[in-house]
Amino acid sequence: MTSTIAAGTKVDGVALSVLLFFFILVTIGGFLAAKWRRPESMHSLDEWGLGGRGFGTIVTWFLLGGDLYTAYTFVAVPAAMFATGAVSGFFAVPYTIVVYPLIFIFMPRMWSVAHRHGFVTPADFVRGRYGSRGLSLAVAVTGIIATMPYIALQLVGIQAVLDTLGLGGSGNWFLKDLPLFIAFAVLAAYTYSSGLRAPALIAFVKDTLIYLVIVVAIIYVGVKIGFGDMFRAAEAKMTTKTKTGAATGVFIPNDKTYWAYSSLALGSALALFMYPHSMTAVLSGRSRNVIRRNAAILPVYSLMLGLLALLGFAAIAAKTNVIGADGKPNAQLAVPHFFHDAFPSWFAGVAFAAIAIGALVPAAIMSIAAANLFTRNIYREFFKPDATPKQEAQVSKIVSLVVKFGALLFVLTLDKQNAINFQLLGGVWILQTIVAIVAGLYTRWFHRWALLAGWAAGMIYGTVMAYQQKSPATAHFGGSLAKFPFSHTTVYIGLSALVVNLLVSVVLTFVLRALNAPVGADSTGPEDYYSDSDGPAVRVRGTEGGLAEPGVART
């Protein structure tokens, strides 16, 4: 049993060694992954960026699970529970349940049309469907700027672990940030060489560790603290009045916060599968049914997320101290400190490894997704229309390095609060691509220029509203909730922005159609949205079937 952490403690050698062991293990795995289901050539985006589009149900399950449930979720959701309770934290549970019926309905269509036309990114689809370079660029840029802070937040997760271990805090900036720098350099190196295969393989290690840790932690809470006492402690904290006279947080939502809770759950669910990295993982599946089956079995991760969220309450009951190595309180440290206080060093090391590796998997997938967007929808679209698959893969590899380095700079130079603010904005932004993408899967009714105007309106409205939110900690970007226009109901900003977006798109479509504005070419046909793995495909490099000629069926 280790003692409570105070500012400037010495390094916990045992926990650090365990963390290092797992880190080296996944590093070796990451480099060896290039040999897994070895393709004839890694020199295309289908292979490097989508793992050959050949992952089955199990691999996709681990990959999507590793992708959607990030280290930041593991640290931030319990931190939010610890600080302000259900509305800011526990909504993640309904959110990650509601998302799967949505994936079940929409994503097989996306998979089919992408498989049929060789689309790699959501912006590729928009380009093909609406024949609009502007709209495709808007979707691509939104994807990239929404993903960057998300990668940065993975680093915040690792930082929380390093801080708990006694690395960081005091000392000069170079030594303080060196461990983070090394971790990311190694991650960048194996993503470069193995592409999407690296996170797919490492996800196995990550999830095994996470499940192990959470089962042990929940048994510990049940036996040592007791669930009844845990909830009572949480309720007592949440109902305590702060200096301003308001309650500290929400234990169970009431009629003032019903809409906040459900709009956060729905809005986040809609945003989650619009993120480029979830699209990447979905498109790497082998068939439509791989996606459908995964929609049914992925909620298992939500069980784990819910239990992890409760650890925020457990930290309240255990009176966990959240003072960081820099001497300031930081709710993000609730879970790492809880593990450090409650468990022997070696097990705390396993928990820290789970969080750190949990950061590496999504960071790798996100950087691949952002790189693919840049390559397909900016580089090839605007600079080199005749790029070969090999050149595309090369550009993507380099951009994935740039993206990760950018995220690192972001975290090292800007305040942590900025990363969280931008992540909040990222969710609002990515939600604005949903009208073009999801409506596009079903209908060409919307006019491409109306969609672009709707996107712009939603982006501006969402950004301004988020900027205006104050909180005790910050003057701007203080939260993701605001009053719905012309009402007193507090809802998720992303969802109100989406309503604005939709209104503008619908109204302008009527106007533009009346004016007979050119609608643009649609390169997709009605049957493309139903085609399965045995249907005709463009540029499929199968793992067993070899290279198919364009337009020739692989049966």
Partner 1 sequence: MKEPSPRRLPTGVAAAAGVLLIIPVLALLIVPLYAKKGPQLWGFPFFYWYQFLWVFLASGFTYSAYVLIERARRGERR
Q: Which stretches of the chain bind partner 1, using CB under 8 A?
A: 86, 90, 93-94, 97-98, 100-102, 104-105, 226-231, 251-255, 258-259, 261-262, 265-266, 289, 292-293, 295-297, 299-300, 302-303, 306, 310, 527, 530-532, 535-536, 552-553, 555
Q: List the structure tokens of 448.
A: 């491409």
Nearest-approach distance from CB 313 to partner 1, in angstroms: 9
Find the helix or strand (DSSP H, E) in which 539 lies: none
Would you say 326 or 522 has its CB closer to partner 1?
522
HSE-CB at 316 with a 13 A cutoff on CA atoms is 28
Would you say 290 or 420 has its CB closer to partner 1?
290
Query: What is the spatial distance between Cα 197 and Cα 203, in angstroms, rounded to a whole number?
Result: 10
Residues 6+ apart with CB under 8 A from 479: 424, 469, 471
Whether 126 and 136 have beta carbons less than 8 Å apart is answered as: yes
Helices (H), 166-220: 173-194, 197-220
Q: Within 10 A of 103 (CB to CB), how many other CB atoms are there?
A: 22
Query: What is the spatial distance between Cα 354 and Cα 335, in angstroms, rounded to a whole number?
Result: 12
Would you say 460 or 552 has its CB closer to partner 1?
552
Would you say 73 or 121 has its CB closer to partner 1?
73
Whether 158 and 183 have beta carbons less than 8 Å apart is answered as: yes
Would you say 103 or 148 has its CB closer to partner 1?
103
Would you say 415 or 549 has its CB closer to partner 1?
549
Nearest to 53 by CA among 494, 540, 555: 540
Q: Within 10 A of 469 (CB to CB), how many other CB atoms are there?
A: 18
Nearest-approach distance from CB 218 to partner 1, in angstroms: 11
Query: What is the spatial distance between Cα 334 and Cα 485, in angstroms, rounded to a whole number?
Result: 36
Nearest-approach distance from CB 120 to partner 1, in angstroms: 22
Phi first, then psi, for residue 329 (nearest 5°) are -70, 145
Nearest-approach distance from CB 87 to partner 1, in angstroms: 10
Would you say 287 or 367 has its CB closer to partner 1?
287
Give the three-state DSSP class for 152.
helix
Query: What is the spatial distance between Cα 546 and Cα 170, in angstroms, rounded to a whole number?
Result: 55
Nearest-approach distance from CB 250 to partner 1, in angstroms: 10
Would you say 258 or 382 has its CB closer to partner 1?
258
Find the helix or strand (DSSP H, E) in which 481 lies: strand 481-483
Would you say 295 or 500 has its CB closer to partner 1?
295
Would you say 300 or 475 has its CB closer to partner 1?
300
Give the three-state DSSP class for 452.
helix
Task: Please give the span between the terminal C-alpha atoms of the chain, in angstroms, as a whole number.
Answer: 59
Residues 6+ apart with CB under 8 A from 274: 122, 430, 431, 433, 434, 437
Q: Exposed, middle or buried, 29 (CB in 10 Å: 0-12/13-18/19+)?
A: middle
Nearest-approach distance from CB 174 to partner 1, in angstroms: 45
Nearest-approach distance from CB 60 to partner 1, in angstroms: 14
Would you say 104 or 204 has its CB closer to partner 1?
104
Would you say 255 or 386 has its CB closer to partner 1?
255
Residues 6+ apart with CB under 8 A from 249: 83, 84, 85, 86, 87, 88, 237, 238
Nearest-approach distance from CB 39 to partner 1, in angstroms: 24
Residues 6+ apart with CB under 8 A from 225: 314, 317, 318
Q: Three-class SS string for 209-275?
A: HHHHHHHHHHHHHHHHHCHHHHHHHHHHHHHCECCCCCECCECCCCCCCHHHHHHHHHHHHHHHCCC
Would you say 312 or 349 has its CB closer to partner 1?
312
Nearest-approach distance from CB 378 to partner 1, in angstroms: 32
Would you say 82 or 100 has its CB closer to partner 1?
100
Query: What is the spatial distance between Cα 525 and Cα 514, in angstroms, rounded to a whole number?
Result: 25
For residue 241, list its beta bridge partners.
247
Find the helix or strand (DSSP H, E) in which 470 lies: none
